[in-house]
Structure 1
Amino acid sequence: MKTGQQPPALQVVMKEARRAIRPLIWFSAGINVLMLTGALYMLQVYHRVLSSHSLETLVMLSLMAAGALAAMAGLEVVRGRLLAKVGSWMNARLAPVLLTASVEYAASAPGQVNVRPLRDLDQVRNFFTSPSIFPILDAPWSPLFFAAIFLMHPWLGWLALGGGIVLFGLALLNEYLTRKPLTDAATAQTQAYGQAEAAIRNAEVVQAMGMLKPLMEAWKTQQDKANKGQVLAANRGGVISALARCHRLALQMAILGLGAYLVLRNEASPGIMISASILMSRALSPVEQAIGTWKATVGARAAYRRLAAVAGQHPEGTPVLPLPRPKGRFEVDSLVLARLGGEHILKGISFQLKPGEVMALIGPSAAGKTSLARVLAGAWRPSGGRALLDGMDVAQWAAEDRGRYVGYLPQDIELFAGTVSENICRFAQLDASTFKHVVRAAELAGVHELIKRLPKGYATEIGESGAALSGGQRQRIGLARALYGDPALLILDEPNSNLDREGEDALIAALSAIKAAGTTIILIAHRPNIMEKVDKILVLNRGQQDLFGPRDHVFNELAKRNGAVTQITAIAANQGVGAGPARRFTVRNSSPMSEIVAGSISGGDADAAQPPEWKKI
């Protein structure tokens, strides 16, 4: 439970970052004022030293100029360090928010993964610490230099101002001509990165099935598009930059020529002629630098806009008030899940479970079982309706608090680089007390002996995504992770899909133990022997709730619908399992929904019991 609504994180960070603006303004003002040193020194040398032939005056002017230049260098060092500090501080404040926002975005938009915000933050931070930001800081002080030139002579001032306007127009033209190519190139480069990451992530499949060449063709198409945009922008920017450089040099020659003309007319001194040239060069420097660094500026601006789209609506982390441990009462009310395009994945799912009840989630392929499991676990946010655990909406419950009471085993086992212990305890701080719970979860999942046989036991590094483990080992360790902390709600998505007979027996034993402890369990399963622990069944079909009720009632209803079910009453005795409820199996031409009828078994090996012409689950 969160303590209250907070303003967006980016808004808070930028508001606090404004505290650094005032020192930056003063440092930039001091640096630009001290940059007048060269022009003033030249002016004083011509006016005072050369006319008076005073060595003492020259020495004092030189010492004063050296002191001013040293002060300017010190201010530039401090300004650079302040910018680096702001960039580092912004990264430290926003990086956790962006990672959280990216995870929540993926949870709220099924099938959509946004991994770029952290890269964008790095780009913005690097912009703060690069020379690309200096034209932005120095440009507001250009009027100071133009004003100084006007004081020397109006003609010189108008010439410098006119040349500055032309140079500024070239900068605007550069932005106009390079904006679209750079934007298109960035979009194509992002798609190329995504394709490359997907190929590397699925390297085994790519290599085994010879998919590298066609994937490279698709990647090369995007890469060529990105390169084309980059080259086009670079060519246009290069032309504008060459014109700007040529214009500045011509303007420098023009102001020297005009100054010489004024000297010949006795309207200016040689010192004014040289000083005006120096001041004009400094006044136009930010504009010329901006043209040269425009690509970095455009990239940082686009990155900031993307950050605003992610962090601009996401609040910073707020203190979480822990709620009492739930008893396990679970209620789903009119749950709806839709894709971004509006297509419904789940429609109107409703059911209730008491503490300690076990519900099986069944249905044909693409019925929405896994999607529903993700919503119920809080991994995805529903588009409508609610899933309540002891009256608390799991979508609104703070994940760090809710996670203590909910165990989740996804269909695709997602382990992380680290040790077995760290994965089981969900990367909590590992101490003696935590390790005790780790071992307990492993024993409950029946994986303790397996872990002891690993090279370093619980300290074994499993590699990225558990690459050092087999599929069955990953699934059993994933089950132990789900059982860690004795959750009140346990959601298992095909927990026996990669298990052998030994692993499946351990799973059934674990389900019996945690059910006896009062844990509410929701599982997706397709093998019949796990159904003996089920109390209720929810049948999904095309995202809609088809049936819900006690196990035997649902199986009987499915059998009635199928109309082609044969009852076998002697199989339990023949297999040595003992008496139990009637076992039902469907014929090969039955509908997909009726296939699950085979799950109404109270024990034994259903696969071995079925005749070969009968279709099992």
Structure 2
Amino acid sequence: MFSNPVRPSVSGAIRTCRSAFVGIFIVSAVLNVLMLTGPIFMLQVYDRVLASGSVPTLLVLSAITIGLYGLSGILDILRSKALLRVSMRVYTSLTNPVLRANIRLPVMLGGKSAGLHPNRDLDTIRRFLGSPGPSSIFDLPFMPFYFLLIFVMHSALGFLALAGGAVIFLLVVFNEYSSRTTTKEVGQTTAAQSKVMETARRNAEVVGAMGMTGRLSQRYGELVTPYFYAQQQATDRSNFYSSTIKLLRMMLQSAMLGLGAYLAIRQEISGGVMIASSIIMARALSPIEQAVSHWPSFVASRQAMGRLNQVLLQCDVDRGLQGLPLPKGDLSIEEMATSAPAEPVVLLQDVALTLKAGDGLGVIGGSGSGKTSFARALVGVWPVLKGAIRLDGSTIDQWTEDERGRFIGYLPQDVELFDGTVADNIARFDKDADVVSIVAAAKLAGVHNLVAGLPDGYNTMIGDGGARLSAGQRQRIGLARALYGNPFLIVLDEPNSNLDVEGEQALSRAILEVRQRGGIVVVVAHRSSALLSVNKLLIIQGGRQVAFGDKDQLLTNVSILNGSMQSGKALANAV
């Protein structure tokens, strides 16, 4: 069966909380009815207690009022807790899809993904759902109920309240349309600032060593100015509408009292109705005022929801089949062409070759010729624009992403390790990994003695990016990670760029052992020592395949190579 029959989305996650929202709506309905406690108490005091002078009646009414206020407070607390739990449920249900999207975005969109931060969008949605903002939205449907009550008291009071509500509603609509652009600009400038900050932090050594701190600070400062003005404009606009609506509500409340007094003088309503109608109108307009105060977060949440839905739709592309047999026979490439994700320029094309189990392929060529592009397409992180890459007749995307990790090992040029123990990194953070397999991979990579010499051995915390290790140590642990689990296809991109003689000897032994057990090894190399243990050779120049065949035969016949290997004879002598 297909691995992802249902696409994750924010709306889908919210729909799973449907029963909770129904409960919150019912609680909101009860709360809005209980909000009439004050006006009714006031009405009874003016029209009954004062008229009759009955103290017992006043005491009974006061006791009932206090009880209803207490119930209202309890329900309000329960509603806030329910909204907080809804926000956390939505957040937790989307955490894994968002993490996958965060990982896949650079692979799918390349540089175009720089402005997309699905984890931040999810956090924006979580904060809004857990804030008082949704409470005001749940209260909005009960506004007509309050207006109807005012109409029951007197039609003139009802028309005044309705006119005031209409004006405030128009202000809310204007606020909505005027805040869209500025809120979007704030989000864009915030993303640009974060990008500069993260890049500087990631390259702190380079920045400090070459005196780039001042220049980057200046560049960051240039982004602060548009952010300041965009944020200022958004805040000023929100404050303007919020203050205007608050002022209008106060004016309407006074106008309601004035009109009520006039009607009371004419004996058309009682004094209690005059006071109660003013309080009810204030309550009717209160949700609008609260909604406007939370409007920036509402708009930001809505925009974040739109972006996140689009990202999840784009990145939910794992259409592999569960249970497809893992490859163990051959690798064939059929006139393959590839490019960087979401880029129109083809970087490598016309590659065609076949490898059998036990083959080792060396890939050579000048800088920028397309060797790394070949490696990335081979492991499925760059798109195949033309042709196909097949393992035992099936293209890579026919396996699920998780299952591909069982038969693919990859060592990129820039080795990145994760915050965790050495064992965690070698085992690819597999919780079910056994120590025997981890040590076997480390020994195969020739890094077991190095790891054993660390303070806590395989339990040594290496820090984010492998900060505690040298470049050569990171590369050798990255090689062990690629070899873990005895994958069928192992792709090594410049695996000896930071290795010493001992490390290169261990690399050659590892390649031979993988071939002897029936695996396929692809080695992208500039240094000839990495090719000692391969039997096939692929030569790439100018983004095209120049030659492919047995290594010894090609080394005899090929005479034009770029980079550090300028001639076939020189390479033959080195190997």
- Structure 1 position 372 matched with structure 2 position 374: yes
SS of residue paired to 1:403? helix
Q: CA deviation at 1:546?
A: 2.4
Q: 1:486 to 1:131 in 2, by over 3 A?
A: same
Q: Conserved in 1, the CA contact under 8 Å of 2:556 and 2:572?
A: no
- Which amino acid in 2 is paired with 1:93? S
SS in 1 for 2:406: coil
Partner of 2:325: 324
Equivalence for 2:53: 53
Ranges of 4+ aligned residues in structure 1 off by more than 6 Å: 316-320
CA 1:96/1:3 → structure 2, altered by over 3 Å: closer, same or farther?
closer
CA distance in 1, matches of 2:205, 2:567: 33
Partner of 2:387: 385
User: Is the contact between residue 370 and residue 543 of structure 2 (CA under 8 Å) also seen in structure 1?
Assistant: yes
**Counterpart-to-counterpart distance in 2, 1:317 and 1:175:** 38
Deviations 1:380-435 (A, max 9, x none): 3434433222223223321211211211111111111111111111111266xx11
Matches within 5 A, 1:569-584: none
After superposition, the Cα gap between the structure-2 partners of 1:12 and 1:163, relative to the gap in structure 1 and judged at 3 Å, is closer
Q: CA deviation at 1:328?
A: 4.2
**Matching of residues 135-154 of structure 1 within 5 Å:** 135-154=136-155
Match runs of 1:562-573 below 5 Å? 562=560
Matches within 5 A, 1:400-419: 400-419=402-421
Mapping 1:457-476, distance limit 5 Å: 457-476=457-476
| Residue of structure 1 equivalent to 2:351 | 349
> What is the deviation of 1:290?
1.9
Match of 1:569 in 2: none
CA–CA distance in structure 2, aligned partners of residues 388 and 190 of structure 1: 39
Residue number in structure 1 paired with 2:75: 75
Give CA-to-partner distance per residue, 1:202-239, whole Å, 9 cap, x none.
00000111111111222111121111100112222222
**Residue in structure 1 matched with residue 485 of structure 2 by the alignment:** 485
Alignment of 1:115-154 (within 5 A): 116-154=117-155
User: How far 1:102 moved relative to its partner?
Assistant: 2.1
Deviates more, 1:511-520 or 1:67-76: 67-76
In structure 2, the partner of 1:99 is: 99
Taking the aligned partners of 1:318 and 1:475, their CA distance within structure 2 comes to 32
CA 1:446/1:596 → structure 2, altered by over 3 Å: closer, same or farther? farther
Corresponding position of 1:442: 442
Distance 1:399 1:77, change over 3 A: same
Counterpart amino acid of residue 398 in structure 1:
T
* Paired position in structure 2 for 1:543: 543
Contact 1:359–1:521 (CA<8 Å) still a contact in 2?
A: yes
Question: Residue 233 of structure 2 aligns with which residue?
Answer: 232
For 2:218, give the aligned amino acid: E
> 1:34, 1:72 within 8 Å by CA — same for their partners in 2?
yes
| Residues 407 and 489 in structure 2, CA contact (< 8 A), matched pair in contact too | yes
Report the secondary structure of 1:332's partner residue: strand
- TM-score, normalised via structure 1 length: 0.88
Q: Does 1:30 align with 2:30?
A: yes
Structure 2: tracts of 5 or more residues without a match: none
Q: Give the alignment's Cα RMSD to 1 decimal.
A: 2.2
Unaligned runs of 5+ in 1: 563-589, 607-617
Within 5 Å, give how 1:149-548 maps onto structure 2: 149-313=150-314, 321-339=322-340, 340-429=342-431, 434-548=434-548
- Matched-pair contact (CA < 8 Å) for 2:125–2:304: yes
Residues of 2 paired with 1:327 and 1:144: CA distance? 71
Question: Partner letter of residue 463 of structure 1?
Answer: G
Distance 1:318 1:83, change over 3 A: farther
Post-superposition Cα deviations, 1:561-585, rounded to whole Å, max 9, x if no partner, equal x4xxxxxxxxxxxxxxxxxxxxxxx
How much has 1:316 moved relative to structure 2?
Answer: 10
In the alignment, the residues of structure 2 paired with residue 524 and residue 132 of structure 1 have an alpha-carbon distance, to the nearest angstrom, of 55
| Distance change >3 Å, CA 555–CA 41, structure 1 → 2 | same
- Gap change, CA 1:250 and 1:85, over 3 Å in 2: same
Structure 1 residues 430 and 16, CA, compared in 2 at 3 Å: closer, same or farther? closer
Q: Is 515-524 or 393-402 further displaced after alignment?
A: 393-402
Q: Secondary structure at the match of 1:461?
A: coil
CA distance in 2, matches of 1:472, 1:221: 39
C-alpha distance in structure 2 between counterparts of 1:468 and 1:598, whole Å:
41
> What whole-Å deviation, never above 9, does each CA across 1:259-303 have from its counterpart, x for those lacking one?
111111111111011001100101111111122221111111111
The one-character-per-residue Cα deviations of 1:424-460 (angstroms, maximum 9, x if unpaired) are 11111266xx111111111111111122222222121
Corresponding letter in the other structure for 1:420: V
Deviation at 1:343, TM superposition (A): 1.7
In 1, Cα distance between equivalents of 2:570 and 2:287: 76
**In structure 1, what is the equivalent of residue 13 of structure 2?**
13
Q: How far does the alpha carbon of each residue in 1:51-78 deviate from its partner, in whole angstroms, 9 at most, with x for none?
A: 2222232222222222222222222122
Structure 1 residues 305 and 598: alpha-carbon distance in aligned structure 2, compared to 1, 3 A threshold: farther
Deviation at 1:113, TM superposition (A): 4.3
How far 1:195 sits from its partner (Å)?
A: 0.8
| In 1: Cα distance, 2:11 partner to 2:305 partner | 12
Structure 1 residue 319 displacement after superposition: 11
Q: Which moved more, 1:376-385 or 1:130-139?
A: 376-385
Instruction: Output the CA distance in 1 between the equivalents of 2:517 and 2:481.
Output: 17
Q: Secondary structure, in 3 states, of the residue corresponding to 2:336?
A: strand
1:472 to partner: Cα distance: 0.7
Q: 1:470 to 1:4 in 2, by over 3 A?
A: closer
Which range is displaced more, 317-326 or 185-194?
317-326
Instruction: Using the aligned pairs only, state the percent identity.
Output: 40
CA positional deviation for 1:318: 9.7
SS at match of 1:385: strand
Larger radius of gyration: 1
Distance 1:263 1:64 in 2: 27
For residues 366 and 386 of structure 1, the distance between their equivalents in structure 2, rounded to whole angstroms, comes to: 22
Question: Retained in 1: the 8 A contact 2:139–2:287?
Answer: yes
User: Normalized against structure 2, the TM-score is what?
Assistant: 0.94
Deviations 1:539-597 (A, max 9, x none): 222322222222234334432xx4xxxxxxxxxxxxxxxxxxxxxxxxxxx85597262
Say yes or no: does 1:595 pair with 2:549.
Answer: no
Give the deviation of 1:315 after TM superposition: 5.0
Q: Distance in 2 between matches of 1:295 and 1:138?
A: 18
3-state SS in 1 of match to 2:267: coil
| 3-state SS of 2:363 partner | strand
Which string of whole-angstrom CA distances, capped at 9 and with x for unpartnered residues, describes residues 2-23 of structure 1?
Answer: 4463344445323323332221
Q: Given that residues 318 and 397 in structure 2 are in contact (C-alpha distance below 8 angstroms), is that contact kept between their aligned partners in structure 1?
A: no
| Matched residue SS, 2:416 | coil
Change (3 A) 1:313 1:227: same
| CA spacing shift, 1:596–1:22, aligned 2, 3 Å | farther
Give the C-alpha shift of residue 599 in structure 1. Answer: 6.4
Deviations 1:76-110 (A, max 9, x none): 12211211111111111101011112222222233
Q: Is the contact made by 2:419 and 2:463 (CA closer than 8 Å) also made in structure 1? A: yes
Moved more, 513-522 or 19-28: 19-28
Find the aligned partners of 2:244 and 2:13 in 1 and give their Cα distance: 40
Partner secondary structure for residue 395 of structure 1: helix
Amino acid in structure 2 at the alignment position of 1:183:
K
